[in-house]
Amino acid sequence: MLAPEERGSLAIGEHVLERLAARAASEVDRVGGAAGRTLGISLGGEALDRSAKASARIAGGEVELDVRISLEYPAPVGATTERVRGHLRERVEELTGMPVRRVGITVTALHTEAAGRGRVE
């Protein structure tokens, strides 16, 4: 068996971290995705069944994440974003072995339970 220094190394790219973070955000109850944006303009809609949008940066061997999500309302926004932050940190560190220094979260929409249901008169 080869010694650790003879095995080589594994490089994890920022794009991979972005995909991991987006997937991990979807694992949290009452959290949905965000529409993509180009030049600040929303492309499509925000929905609970869409993927979260994430960007990642590796600096000094540590990961910085920025994630855009939507939430089911009336979920407590502060408590839910803290759950998402903790889950993202835990999952990314578990899957990559890289410490997560910062997780920035932007909530782009709140969805009510009645969203998408037709109005009855």
Select from 42, 47, 54, 60 the least CA-distant residue to 17: 54
Q: Which residues are paired to 63 by β-bridges?
A: 58, 100
Cβ(22)–Cβ(68) under 8 Å? no
Domain of residue 83: give its range: 12-36+44-112
Is 121's pLDDT higher than 50? no
Residue 101 domain-assigned (yes or no)? yes
Residue 5 domain-assigned (yes or no)? no
Q: Per-residue pLDDT tens for 76-117?
A: 999 999 999 999 999 999 999 999 999 999 998 888 865 444
CATH of the domain at 54: 3.30.70.1350
For the record, the structure tokens of 28 come out as 């949290």
Is 25's pLDDT higher than 90? yes
Residue 3 domain-assigned (yes or no)? no
Q: How many domains, in total, are found in the chain?
A: 1
Is 118's pLDDT higher than 80? no
Q: Per-residue pLDDT tens for 40-59?
A: 555 455 555 578 999 999 99
Q: Give this prediction's pTM.
A: 0.77
Residue 7 domain-assigned (yes or no)? no
CA distance 21 to 65: 8
